[in-house]
Amino acid sequence: MSERHTILDSITSAFVPIHPEGRKFIAGFAVAALILFLLAPPLGWLGVIATVLCAYFFRDPERVTPQRPGLVVSAADGKLVNIGTVIPPKELALGEALLTGISVFLSVLDVHVVRAPVAGRVAHSTYVPGKFLNAELDKASEENERRAMVIETPAGEKIGVVLIAGLIARRIVTFVGEGASVAAGERIGLIRFGSRVDVYLPAGGDVLVAAGQTAIGGETALAELPGVRASGP
């Protein structure tokens, strides 16, 4: 019995959960595939492939978030494209003091569920309409459609998170609003089909990653907040 459970666990663990936001899209592709099978079987197989790809896009794997105090974890899966000292966007309402900005570019193959980089309270959230430029471009942070959020930690540090639509992305969905309390690594939103997430934190902290590195949302430690000494082994 124990061995059977081990085999069953191994099989089920290979299947990544699908986020509820994606179910209607997957169902739509599946219905289209069925219709294509009835009309022209070869096209039906293309519909099956499209359905599988859609399911893959909306996968929502569980993540284990580091719990050390003072750590800022990646808000999304993808490639780190920009790391530097910048003036935060006006919609974050964080003033004009220089902050450390870290950008993650999500390709269509990355997990698109966005997670809270720190634990705290959502102190500010605003939607900004805009264009749909390639999210890998620097100007996408200022010109693309986006959702800007500020999470205030229990220590009073304010961390900005901006979910940015991309060339293909046409919809940003958020799961939390102003006043909500979030845990580090908690799901806070989803961007459909290619995008970018910018994180802004107080300057002076220790950045733990480099541009070009691949980040895992909710797990990769991006930085350590200034003045907060992480306790660890």
Q: Given this model, what pLDDT does residue 230 score?
A: 44
Q: Given this model, what pLDDT does residue 218 score?
A: 95
Considering the domain architecture, whether residues 43 and 117 belong to the same structural domain is answered as no
pTM, whole model, 2 decimals? 0.81
Considering the domain architecture, whether residues 9 and 88 belong to the same structural domain is answered as no
User: Between 13 and 128, whose confidence is greater?
Assistant: 128
207 confidence band (pLDDT: 50, 70, 90): very high
Note whether residue 66 is domain-resident: no
The whole-angstrom separation of Cα 160 and Cα 169 is: 21
Note whether residue 119 is domain-resident: yes
Average pLDDT estimate for 35-51: 87
Average pLDDT estimate for 169-181: 85
Q: Is the pLDDT of residue 1 over 60?
A: no
Q: Given this model, what pLDDT does residue 233 score?
A: 44
Considering the domain architecture, whether residues 99 and 204 belong to the same structural domain is answered as yes
Considering the domain architecture, whether residues 91 and 51 belong to the same structural domain is answered as no
Q: Are 108 and 193 in contact (CB under 8 A)?
A: yes
Q: Given this model, what pLDDT does residue 194 score?
A: 64
Q: Are 80 and 223 in contact (CB under 8 A)?
A: no
Q: Given this model, what pLDDT does residue 51 score?
A: 86
Considering the domain architecture, whether residues 51 and 81 belong to the same structural domain is answered as no
The one-letter amino acid at 157: E
Task: Give kind and range of the element (H or E) at residue 72.
Answer: strand 71-73
Average pLDDT of the chain is 84
Note whether residue 106 is domain-resident: yes
**Which structure tokens are listed for 68?**
């050390």
Note whether residue 65 is domain-resident: no
Q: pLDDT tens, 79-115?
A: 999 899 999 999 999 998 999 999 999 888 888 899 9
Considering the domain architecture, whether residues 161 and 220 belong to the same structural domain is answered as yes
Active site residue 13: no
**Which CATH number belongs to the domain containing residue 109 in this structure?**
2.70.70.10
User: Between 229 and 74, whose confidence is greater?
Assistant: 74
Of 74, 103, 125, 195, catalytic: 195
Q: Looking at 74-206, list the stretches that DSSP marks H as alpha helix, in order from N- to C-terminal side.
A: 140-143
Considering the domain architecture, whether residues 38 and 124 belong to the same structural domain is answered as no
User: Between 214 and 172, whose confidence is greater?
Assistant: 214
Considering the domain architecture, whether residues 78 and 33 belong to the same structural domain is answered as no
203 confidence band (pLDDT: 50, 70, 90): confident
The whole-angstrom separation of Cα 53 and Cα 31 is: 15
Domain count, the chain: 2
Q: Are 25 and 66 in contact (CB under 8 A)?
A: no
Considering the domain architecture, whether residues 22 and 90 belong to the same structural domain is answered as no
Q: Is the pLDDT of residue 169 over 90?
A: no
Domain with 13, as residue range(s), is 2-57
The one-letter amino acid at 223: A
45-54, 76-85, 215-224: lowest mean pLDDT where?
A: 45-54
Task: Give kind and range of the element (H or E) at residue 196.
Answer: strand 195-202
User: Between 74 and 172, whose confidence is greater?
Assistant: 74
- Mutual orientation of helices 41-57 and 23-39 as an angle, nearest 10°? 170
Residue that the structure tokens 């986020």 belong to: 19
Note whether residue 84 is domain-resident: yes
Considering the domain architecture, whether residues 52 and 139 belong to the same structural domain is answered as no
User: Between 144 and 2, whose confidence is greater?
Assistant: 144
Considering the domain architecture, whether residues 127 and 211 belong to the same structural domain is answered as yes
Note whether residue 48 is domain-resident: yes
Note whether residue 16 is domain-resident: yes
Q: Given this model, what pLDDT does residue 11 score?
A: 44
Burial code (b: 16+ CB inside 10 Å, e: under 16) for 111-146 equals bbbbbbbbbbebebbeebeeebbebbeeebbeebbb
Residue that the structure tokens 């899966």 belong to: 77
Note whether residue 232 is domain-resident: no
Considering the domain architecture, whether residues 50 and 82 belong to the same structural domain is answered as no
